[in-house]
A and B are shown apart, each in its own frame.
Chain A
Amino acid sequence: MIRHHPGLDLLTEFATGALAEPVALVVASHASLCATCRAQIARLEEVGGAMLHEIVPALMSHDALAAAMARIERPEPAPEPAPELDAATRATVPAPVRRYLDRGLGQLKWRWRGPALREAALEIPGAGFRASLFRMKPGMAAPRHTHAGHEYTLVLQGGFTDAGERYDRGDFALADPTRSHVQVADEDGCLCLVVLDAPVRIHGLLGAVANRFLKF
Protein backbone atom coordinates (compact mmCIF):
# COMPACT_ATOMS: atom_id res chain seq x y z
CA MET A 1 0.00 0.00 0.00
CA ILE A 2 1.59 3.24 -1.15
CA ARG A 3 0.98 6.10 1.29
CA HIS A 4 3.30 8.86 0.14
CA HIS A 5 2.72 10.38 -3.30
CA PRO A 6 4.24 13.27 -5.27
CA GLY A 7 2.22 16.47 -4.85
CA LEU A 8 -0.14 17.76 -7.51
CA ASP A 9 2.45 20.37 -8.56
CA LEU A 10 4.94 17.66 -9.51
CA LEU A 11 2.35 15.48 -11.26
CA THR A 12 1.21 18.51 -13.27
CA GLU A 13 4.78 19.40 -14.22
CA PHE A 14 5.29 15.79 -15.29
CA ALA A 15 2.17 15.86 -17.46
CA THR A 16 3.10 19.15 -19.11
CA GLY A 17 6.69 18.01 -19.71
CA ALA A 18 8.27 20.68 -17.51
CA LEU A 19 10.39 18.41 -15.33
CA ALA A 20 14.06 17.80 -16.00
CA GLU A 21 14.81 14.21 -16.96
CA PRO A 22 16.13 13.01 -13.57
CA VAL A 23 13.12 14.37 -11.64
CA ALA A 24 10.71 13.10 -14.31
CA LEU A 25 12.33 9.69 -13.82
CA VAL A 26 11.42 9.64 -10.12
CA VAL A 27 7.80 10.60 -10.91
CA ALA A 28 7.53 8.07 -13.78
CA SER A 29 8.97 5.34 -11.55
CA HIS A 30 6.54 6.14 -8.75
CA ALA A 31 3.62 6.17 -11.20
CA SER A 32 4.78 2.82 -12.60
CA LEU A 33 4.11 1.41 -9.12
CA CYS A 34 1.10 3.59 -8.23
CA ALA A 35 -2.22 3.25 -10.07
CA THR A 36 -3.66 6.33 -8.35
CA CYS A 37 -0.96 8.68 -9.65
CA ARG A 38 -1.13 7.04 -13.08
CA ALA A 39 -4.83 7.88 -13.21
CA GLN A 40 -4.23 11.46 -12.04
CA ILE A 41 -1.48 11.99 -14.63
CA ALA A 42 -3.79 10.60 -17.34
CA ARG A 43 -6.43 13.18 -16.34
CA LEU A 44 -3.86 15.96 -16.41
CA GLU A 45 -2.86 14.90 -19.91
CA GLU A 46 -6.49 15.32 -20.97
CA VAL A 47 -5.99 19.07 -20.55
CA GLY A 48 -3.05 18.90 -22.97
CA GLY A 49 -5.21 16.99 -25.44
CA ALA A 50 -7.94 19.61 -25.22
CA MET A 51 -5.40 22.40 -25.78
CA LEU A 52 -4.16 20.80 -29.00
CA HIS A 53 -7.56 21.60 -30.51
CA GLU A 54 -7.33 25.30 -29.87
CA ILE A 55 -3.67 25.82 -30.75
CA VAL A 56 -2.99 27.96 -33.80
CA PRO A 57 -1.99 25.52 -36.56
CA ALA A 58 1.33 26.22 -38.25
CA LEU A 59 1.73 25.91 -41.99
CA MET A 60 3.33 22.60 -42.96
CA SER A 61 5.55 22.38 -46.01
CA HIS A 62 3.67 21.32 -49.16
CA ASP A 63 5.14 17.83 -49.28
CA ALA A 64 4.75 17.14 -45.54
CA LEU A 65 2.01 14.55 -45.91
CA ALA A 66 3.84 12.74 -48.70
CA ALA A 67 6.99 12.69 -46.56
CA ALA A 68 5.06 11.25 -43.61
CA MET A 69 3.41 8.62 -45.81
CA ALA A 70 6.87 7.58 -46.99
CA ARG A 71 8.25 7.48 -43.45
CA ILE A 72 5.58 5.13 -42.16
CA GLU A 73 6.43 2.64 -44.91
CA ARG A 74 10.00 2.41 -43.74
CA PRO A 75 10.83 -0.30 -41.21
CA GLU A 76 10.88 0.91 -37.63
CA PRO A 77 14.47 1.33 -36.38
CA ALA A 78 15.41 -1.41 -33.95
CA PRO A 79 15.12 -0.27 -30.33
CA GLU A 80 18.33 0.21 -28.42
CA PRO A 81 19.44 -3.21 -27.23
CA ALA A 82 18.40 -3.50 -23.59
CA PRO A 83 21.03 -4.99 -21.30
CA GLU A 84 20.30 -8.41 -19.86
CA LEU A 85 19.34 -7.85 -16.25
CA ASP A 86 18.92 -10.61 -13.70
CA ALA A 87 15.48 -11.51 -12.33
CA ALA A 88 16.11 -9.95 -8.92
CA THR A 89 17.01 -6.61 -10.51
CA ARG A 90 13.97 -6.71 -12.78
CA ALA A 91 11.71 -7.49 -9.83
CA THR A 92 13.11 -4.63 -7.75
CA VAL A 93 13.91 -1.81 -10.13
CA PRO A 94 10.95 -0.25 -12.02
CA ALA A 95 11.17 -0.25 -15.83
CA PRO A 96 11.90 3.50 -16.25
CA VAL A 97 15.02 3.18 -14.06
CA ARG A 98 16.12 -0.11 -15.67
CA ARG A 99 16.67 1.83 -18.89
CA TYR A 100 19.58 3.60 -17.22
CA LEU A 101 21.21 0.40 -15.89
CA ASP A 102 23.82 -1.47 -17.91
CA ARG A 103 24.12 -4.29 -15.35
CA GLY A 104 22.29 -5.83 -12.42
CA LEU A 105 22.15 -4.42 -8.89
CA GLY A 106 24.79 -6.89 -7.70
CA GLN A 107 27.28 -5.80 -10.37
CA LEU A 108 26.89 -2.06 -9.99
CA LYS A 109 29.79 -0.06 -8.68
CA TRP A 110 28.64 0.74 -5.13
CA ARG A 111 30.64 3.52 -3.54
CA TRP A 112 31.18 3.97 0.17
CA ARG A 113 29.22 6.91 1.58
CA GLY A 114 29.81 6.43 5.30
CA PRO A 115 29.00 3.37 7.42
CA ALA A 116 25.28 3.39 6.60
CA LEU A 117 25.23 4.19 2.87
CA ARG A 118 26.39 2.88 -0.49
CA GLU A 119 25.75 4.81 -3.69
CA ALA A 120 25.64 3.76 -7.33
CA ALA A 121 25.42 6.78 -9.62
CA LEU A 122 23.10 6.72 -12.64
CA GLU A 123 24.21 8.32 -15.88
CA ILE A 124 21.38 10.71 -16.65
CA PRO A 125 21.87 13.86 -18.65
CA GLY A 126 20.70 16.94 -16.81
CA ALA A 127 23.09 19.61 -15.64
CA GLY A 128 22.79 20.40 -11.97
CA PHE A 129 21.27 17.07 -10.98
CA ARG A 130 22.64 13.99 -9.34
CA ALA A 131 20.70 10.75 -9.73
CA SER A 132 21.69 7.60 -7.87
CA LEU A 133 20.60 4.40 -6.27
CA PHE A 134 21.29 4.39 -2.53
CA ARG A 135 21.52 1.36 -0.30
CA MET A 136 21.02 1.83 3.43
CA LYS A 137 22.34 -0.80 5.80
CA PRO A 138 19.73 -2.56 7.98
CA GLY A 139 18.72 -0.54 11.02
CA MET A 140 21.26 2.19 10.37
CA ALA A 141 20.59 5.89 10.07
CA ALA A 142 21.69 8.05 7.17
CA PRO A 143 23.63 10.98 8.62
CA ARG A 144 21.54 14.04 9.44
CA HIS A 145 21.70 16.36 6.48
CA THR A 146 20.19 19.44 4.88
CA HIS A 147 19.93 20.45 1.26
CA ALA A 148 20.65 23.53 -0.72
CA GLY A 149 17.94 22.25 -3.07
CA HIS A 150 15.49 19.36 -3.21
CA GLU A 151 15.91 15.66 -2.58
CA TYR A 152 13.46 13.38 -4.45
CA THR A 153 13.40 9.85 -3.06
CA LEU A 154 11.55 6.73 -4.18
CA VAL A 155 11.74 3.55 -2.10
CA LEU A 156 12.42 0.51 -4.29
CA GLN A 157 13.00 -2.16 -1.66
CA GLY A 158 12.74 -2.41 2.12
CA GLY A 159 11.87 0.82 3.81
CA PHE A 160 12.84 3.57 6.19
CA THR A 161 11.41 5.86 8.81
CA ASP A 162 11.80 9.63 8.71
CA ALA A 163 10.32 11.87 11.41
CA GLY A 164 7.93 9.14 12.53
CA GLU A 165 6.63 8.45 8.99
CA ARG A 166 7.09 5.04 7.41
CA TYR A 167 8.20 4.75 3.79
CA ASP A 168 7.93 1.44 1.93
CA ARG A 169 8.30 0.26 -1.67
CA GLY A 170 6.72 2.79 -4.02
CA ASP A 171 6.57 5.58 -1.45
CA PHE A 172 7.81 8.99 -2.57
CA ALA A 173 9.52 11.57 -0.38
CA LEU A 174 10.47 15.15 -1.16
CA ALA A 175 12.83 16.99 1.16
CA ASP A 176 13.29 20.70 0.61
CA PRO A 177 15.93 23.19 1.77
CA THR A 178 14.05 24.06 4.95
CA ARG A 179 14.27 20.60 6.40
CA SER A 180 17.11 18.80 8.12
CA HIS A 181 16.32 15.11 8.33
CA VAL A 182 17.48 11.61 9.24
CA GLN A 183 16.27 8.44 7.56
CA VAL A 184 16.49 5.21 9.57
CA ALA A 185 16.48 2.02 7.52
CA ASP A 186 14.32 -1.01 8.37
CA GLU A 187 15.80 -4.24 9.66
CA ASP A 188 15.99 -5.46 6.06
CA GLY A 189 17.75 -2.34 4.89
CA CYS A 190 16.57 -0.16 2.08
CA LEU A 191 17.16 0.55 -1.59
CA CYS A 192 16.12 3.96 -2.93
CA LEU A 193 16.26 6.01 -6.09
CA VAL A 194 17.46 9.48 -5.08
CA VAL A 195 17.70 12.63 -7.19
CA LEU A 196 19.27 15.81 -5.87
CA ASP A 197 19.16 19.19 -7.54
CA ALA A 198 21.86 20.78 -5.36
CA PRO A 199 24.58 19.56 -3.02
CA VAL A 200 23.70 17.91 0.27
CA ARG A 201 25.33 19.08 3.46
CA ILE A 202 25.96 16.43 6.09
CA HIS A 203 26.20 17.55 9.70
CA GLY A 204 28.62 16.30 12.35
CA LEU A 205 32.02 14.70 12.29
CA LEU A 206 31.23 12.23 9.56
CA GLY A 207 30.08 15.06 7.41
CA ALA A 208 33.56 16.50 7.18
CA VAL A 209 34.65 13.29 5.44
CA ALA A 210 31.49 12.48 3.51
CA ASN A 211 30.89 15.99 2.16
CA ARG A 212 34.10 15.57 0.21
CA PHE A 213 32.64 12.56 -1.59
CA LEU A 214 29.20 13.99 -2.10
CA LYS A 215 30.31 17.11 -3.88
CA PHE A 216 28.76 17.55 -7.28
Chain B
Amino acid sequence: MYAGPLPIPRAPTPGPLYAERHGIGMAARDRARNATVQEETICNLIEAIGARGDRDAFATLFRHFAPRLKGYAMRRGADSASAEEVAQEAMVQVWRRAATFDPARANGSSWIFAIARNKRIDLVRRERHPEIEPEEEATVPAADNDYDLRENRRALGRAFENLPADQSEILRKAYLEDMSHSAIAAETGLPLGTVKSRVRLGLARLRVLMAGWEP
Protein backbone atom coordinates (compact mmCIF):
# COMPACT_ATOMS: atom_id res chain seq x y z
CA MET B 1 0.00 0.00 0.00
CA TYR B 2 1.42 3.42 -0.90
CA ALA B 3 1.13 5.37 2.31
CA GLY B 4 3.01 8.56 1.54
CA PRO B 5 6.47 9.51 0.35
CA LEU B 6 9.58 8.37 2.13
CA PRO B 7 11.41 11.19 3.89
CA ILE B 8 14.58 10.34 1.99
CA PRO B 9 13.18 9.55 -1.42
CA ARG B 10 16.46 9.03 -3.23
CA ALA B 11 17.37 5.35 -3.13
CA PRO B 12 20.90 4.32 -4.17
CA THR B 13 19.40 1.87 -6.64
CA PRO B 14 16.77 4.04 -8.34
CA GLY B 15 14.41 2.94 -11.05
CA PRO B 16 12.20 -0.13 -10.85
CA LEU B 17 13.01 -0.94 -7.22
CA TYR B 18 11.54 2.31 -5.94
CA ALA B 19 8.34 1.97 -7.93
CA GLU B 20 8.11 -1.70 -7.05
CA ARG B 21 8.63 -1.00 -3.41
CA HIS B 22 5.78 1.41 -3.25
CA GLY B 23 3.39 -0.39 -5.52
CA ILE B 24 3.13 2.75 -7.62
CA GLY B 25 0.69 2.36 -10.46
CA MET B 26 -0.20 -1.18 -9.55
CA ALA B 27 -3.50 -2.99 -9.21
CA ALA B 28 -4.18 -4.74 -5.92
CA ARG B 29 -3.39 -8.13 -7.40
CA ASP B 30 -0.08 -6.91 -8.73
CA ARG B 31 0.72 -5.37 -5.40
CA ALA B 32 0.22 -8.75 -3.75
CA ARG B 33 2.56 -10.33 -6.29
CA ASN B 34 4.91 -7.42 -5.75
CA ALA B 35 5.05 -8.25 -2.03
CA THR B 36 6.84 -11.45 -2.98
CA VAL B 37 9.25 -9.77 -5.36
CA GLN B 38 9.96 -7.28 -2.65
CA GLU B 39 10.36 -10.02 -0.07
CA GLU B 40 13.08 -11.62 -2.18
CA THR B 41 14.80 -8.26 -2.47
CA ILE B 42 14.67 -7.86 1.30
CA CYS B 43 16.13 -11.33 1.87
CA ASN B 44 18.91 -10.60 -0.62
CA LEU B 45 19.74 -7.31 1.09
CA ILE B 46 19.95 -8.95 4.52
CA GLU B 47 22.13 -11.72 3.12
CA ALA B 48 24.42 -9.16 1.46
CA ILE B 49 24.90 -7.50 4.84
CA GLY B 50 25.54 -10.83 6.54
CA ALA B 51 27.93 -12.12 3.90
CA ARG B 52 30.09 -9.06 3.25
CA GLY B 53 28.96 -6.16 5.41
CA ASP B 54 27.35 -4.47 2.40
CA ARG B 55 26.73 -0.87 3.47
CA ASP B 56 24.68 0.05 0.41
CA ALA B 57 22.37 -2.86 1.13
CA PHE B 58 22.00 -1.59 4.69
CA ALA B 59 21.20 1.94 3.51
CA THR B 60 18.52 0.57 1.17
CA LEU B 61 16.95 -1.51 3.95
CA PHE B 62 17.15 1.45 6.30
CA ARG B 63 15.32 3.76 3.90
CA HIS B 64 12.54 1.26 3.51
CA PHE B 65 12.16 -0.03 7.06
CA ALA B 66 13.30 2.70 9.48
CA PRO B 67 10.28 5.00 8.85
CA ARG B 68 7.97 1.99 9.19
CA LEU B 69 9.64 0.83 12.38
CA LYS B 70 9.31 4.35 13.75
CA GLY B 71 5.61 4.27 12.84
CA TYR B 72 5.38 0.86 14.53
CA ALA B 73 6.94 2.23 17.75
CA MET B 74 4.59 5.24 17.71
CA ARG B 75 1.60 2.90 17.55
CA ARG B 76 2.61 1.83 21.07
CA GLY B 77 2.50 5.45 22.25
CA ALA B 78 6.21 6.25 21.97
CA ASP B 79 6.98 9.92 21.25
CA SER B 80 8.81 10.81 18.08
CA ALA B 81 12.30 10.79 19.62
CA SER B 82 11.93 7.45 21.42
CA ALA B 83 10.25 5.91 18.39
CA GLU B 84 13.16 7.00 16.23
CA GLU B 85 15.52 5.43 18.74
CA VAL B 86 13.60 2.14 18.49
CA ALA B 87 13.93 2.28 14.69
CA GLN B 88 17.65 3.12 14.89
CA GLU B 89 18.42 0.42 17.44
CA ALA B 90 16.40 -2.18 15.56
CA MET B 91 18.21 -1.42 12.29
CA VAL B 92 21.60 -1.59 14.03
CA GLN B 93 20.53 -4.98 15.35
CA VAL B 94 19.62 -6.00 11.78
CA TRP B 95 23.17 -5.09 10.77
CA ARG B 96 24.74 -7.04 13.63
CA ARG B 97 22.60 -10.11 13.30
CA ALA B 98 22.38 -10.32 9.52
CA ALA B 99 24.79 -13.26 9.39
CA THR B 100 22.39 -15.34 11.49
CA PHE B 101 19.44 -14.71 9.15
CA ASP B 102 18.26 -17.94 7.55
CA PRO B 103 15.84 -17.39 4.64
CA ALA B 104 14.71 -21.01 4.94
CA ARG B 105 13.31 -20.26 8.40
CA ALA B 106 11.78 -16.82 8.06
CA ASN B 107 10.96 -14.10 5.57
CA GLY B 108 13.14 -11.03 5.83
CA SER B 109 10.33 -8.75 6.95
CA SER B 110 9.10 -11.08 9.71
CA TRP B 111 12.70 -11.46 10.89
CA ILE B 112 12.92 -7.65 11.08
CA PHE B 113 9.49 -7.49 12.75
CA ALA B 114 10.73 -9.80 15.53
CA ILE B 115 13.83 -7.65 16.06
CA ALA B 116 11.73 -4.45 16.18
CA ARG B 117 9.18 -6.03 18.52
CA ASN B 118 11.95 -6.95 20.96
CA LYS B 119 13.54 -3.49 20.74
CA ARG B 120 10.19 -1.80 21.33
CA ILE B 121 9.60 -3.94 24.42
CA ASP B 122 13.13 -3.19 25.59
CA LEU B 123 13.07 0.57 25.04
CA VAL B 124 9.39 1.51 25.44
CA ARG B 125 8.23 -0.99 28.05
CA ARG B 126 11.60 -1.41 29.75
CA GLU B 127 11.21 -5.17 29.78
CA ARG B 128 12.98 -7.95 27.99
CA HIS B 129 11.36 -10.28 25.50
CA PRO B 130 12.99 -13.65 26.18
CA GLU B 131 14.26 -15.16 22.95
CA ILE B 132 13.75 -18.73 21.86
CA GLU B 133 17.04 -20.61 21.77
CA PRO B 134 16.56 -24.13 20.39
CA GLU B 135 18.15 -26.73 22.65
CA GLU B 136 19.09 -28.96 19.74
CA GLU B 137 18.82 -28.50 16.02
CA ALA B 138 15.56 -30.37 15.88
CA THR B 139 14.13 -31.11 12.47
CA VAL B 140 11.14 -29.13 11.29
CA PRO B 141 8.03 -30.96 12.47
CA ALA B 142 6.27 -33.03 9.84
CA ALA B 143 3.24 -30.77 10.03
CA ASP B 144 5.33 -27.90 8.66
CA ASN B 145 6.98 -29.59 5.71
CA ASP B 146 4.27 -28.38 3.37
CA TYR B 147 4.69 -24.76 4.39
CA ASP B 148 6.24 -22.65 1.69
CA LEU B 149 7.36 -19.30 3.06
CA ARG B 150 7.33 -17.45 -0.23
CA GLU B 151 4.10 -18.95 -1.42
CA ASN B 152 2.49 -18.08 1.87
CA ARG B 153 3.86 -14.56 1.79
CA ARG B 154 2.04 -14.08 -1.49
CA ALA B 155 -1.15 -15.53 -0.01
CA LEU B 156 -0.78 -13.32 3.09
CA GLY B 157 -0.70 -10.17 0.98
CA ARG B 158 -3.87 -11.17 -0.83
CA ALA B 159 -5.64 -12.45 2.26
CA PHE B 160 -5.01 -9.21 4.13
CA GLU B 161 -6.99 -7.24 1.63
CA ASN B 162 -9.93 -9.63 1.95
CA LEU B 163 -9.95 -9.93 5.71
CA PRO B 164 -13.28 -8.89 7.27
CA ALA B 165 -12.90 -5.52 9.00
CA ASP B 166 -13.72 -6.83 12.48
CA GLN B 167 -10.92 -9.40 12.22
CA SER B 168 -8.29 -7.15 10.67
CA GLU B 169 -8.94 -4.39 13.19
CA ILE B 170 -8.30 -6.74 16.11
CA LEU B 171 -5.22 -8.29 14.48
CA ARG B 172 -3.80 -4.80 13.96
CA LYS B 173 -4.31 -3.95 17.64
CA ALA B 174 -2.65 -7.24 18.59
CA TYR B 175 0.36 -6.93 16.29
CA LEU B 176 0.96 -3.21 16.04
CA GLU B 177 0.13 -2.21 19.60
CA ASP B 178 1.15 -5.48 21.28
CA MET B 179 -2.17 -5.53 23.10
CA SER B 180 -3.10 -8.74 24.88
CA HIS B 181 -6.45 -10.32 24.10
CA SER B 182 -7.80 -9.14 27.43
CA ALA B 183 -6.53 -5.59 26.84
CA ILE B 184 -8.30 -5.55 23.47
CA ALA B 185 -11.47 -6.83 25.15
CA ALA B 186 -11.24 -4.08 27.76
CA GLU B 187 -10.68 -1.35 25.16
CA THR B 188 -13.31 -2.43 22.66
CA GLY B 189 -15.90 -3.61 25.16
CA LEU B 190 -16.10 -6.96 23.34
CA PRO B 191 -16.29 -10.15 25.39
CA LEU B 192 -12.89 -11.87 25.72
CA GLY B 193 -14.22 -14.94 23.93
CA THR B 194 -15.23 -12.82 20.93
CA VAL B 195 -11.76 -11.24 20.74
CA LYS B 196 -10.10 -14.65 20.89
CA SER B 197 -12.32 -16.13 18.21
CA ARG B 198 -11.83 -13.15 15.87
CA VAL B 199 -8.05 -13.42 16.25
CA ARG B 200 -8.24 -17.13 15.58
CA LEU B 201 -10.52 -16.73 12.55
CA GLY B 202 -8.33 -13.97 11.14
CA LEU B 203 -5.17 -16.07 11.55
CA ALA B 204 -6.93 -19.03 9.94
CA ARG B 205 -7.87 -16.87 6.94
CA LEU B 206 -4.28 -15.69 6.68
CA ARG B 207 -3.37 -19.38 6.61
CA VAL B 208 -0.70 -19.18 9.28
CA LEU B 209 -2.19 -21.82 11.57
CA MET B 210 -0.58 -25.23 11.59
CA ALA B 211 -2.64 -28.41 11.40
CA GLY B 212 -4.46 -28.91 14.67
CA TRP B 213 -4.82 -25.21 15.43
CA GLU B 214 -7.56 -24.37 12.95
CA PRO B 215 -10.77 -23.16 14.56
Residues of A within 8 A of B (CB): 8-9, 12-13, 16-21, 24-25, 28-29, 31-33, 35-36, 38-62, 64-65, 67-69, 71-72, 76, 94-96, 99, 125-126
B residues 159-177 near A (Cβ < 8 Å) are: 160, 171-172, 174-176
Contacts of B135 in A (CB 8 A): 32-33, 94-95
- Chain B interface residue count, Cβ-Cβ cutoff 8 angstroms: 89
Q: What are 10 contact pairs spanning A and B, CB under 8 A?
A: A12-B181, A18-B174, A42-B105, A43-B208, A47-B206, A50-B109, A52-B68, A52-B109, A60-B87, A65-B8
The distance in angstroms between the C-alpha atoms of A60 and B8, with both chains bound, is: 8
B111: nearest chain-A partner, CB-CB: A49
A16 to B208, CA, bound (A): 14
Q: 9 tightest CB-CB pairs across the interface, nearest first?
A: A49-B110, A57-B67, A49-B109, A95-B133, A48-B113, A28-B130, A58-B70, A17-B178, A35-B138
CB distance from B128 to the nearest CB of A (A): 6
Task: Tell me, in angstroms, the Cα distance from A125 to B129 when the chains sit together.
Answer: 11
Contact of B183 among A18, A56, A96 (CB under 8 A): A18
Q: Is B18 an interface residue (CB 8 A)?
A: no
Q: In the complex, what distance in Å separates the CA atom of A94 from the CA atom of B135?
A: 7
Question: Which residue of A21, A38, A58, A99 has the most chain B CB atoms within 10 A of its CB atom?
Answer: A58
B window 29-88: CB within 8 A of A: 35, 38, 55, 58-59, 62-63, 65-72, 74-75, 80, 83-84, 87-88
A19 proximity list for chain B (CB < 8 A): 180
Chain B facing A: main interface SS: helix
Nearest-CB distance from A213 to chain B (Å)? 27
Taking a contact as CB atoms under 8 Å apart, the answer to whether B209 and A32 are in contact is no
Cβ–Cβ contact B132 & A38, under 8 A: yes
Q: Give me 20 other A-B pairs in contact (C-beta within 8 A), A21-B128, A50-B35, A96-B131 excluded.
A: A12-B203, A35-B140, A36-B141, A39-B140, A39-B210, A41-B132, A44-B203, A48-B110, A49-B113, A50-B156, A52-B65, A57-B7, A58-B70, A58-B83, A59-B70, A62-B7, A68-B66, A68-B92, A95-B135, A99-B130
Task: Find out whether the CB atom of B156 lies under 8 angstroms from the CB atom of A16.
Answer: no
Whether the Cβ atoms of A36 and B117 lie closer than 8 Å is no
Q: Which of A29, A39, A69, A126 contacts B127, CB < 8 Å?
A: A126
A69 contacts B181, C-beta separation under 8 Å: no
Contact residue among B112, B129, B206, B210 (Cβ-Cβ distance under 8 Å from A24): B129
By a CB distance below 8 angstroms, the chain A residues around B180 are 13, 18-19
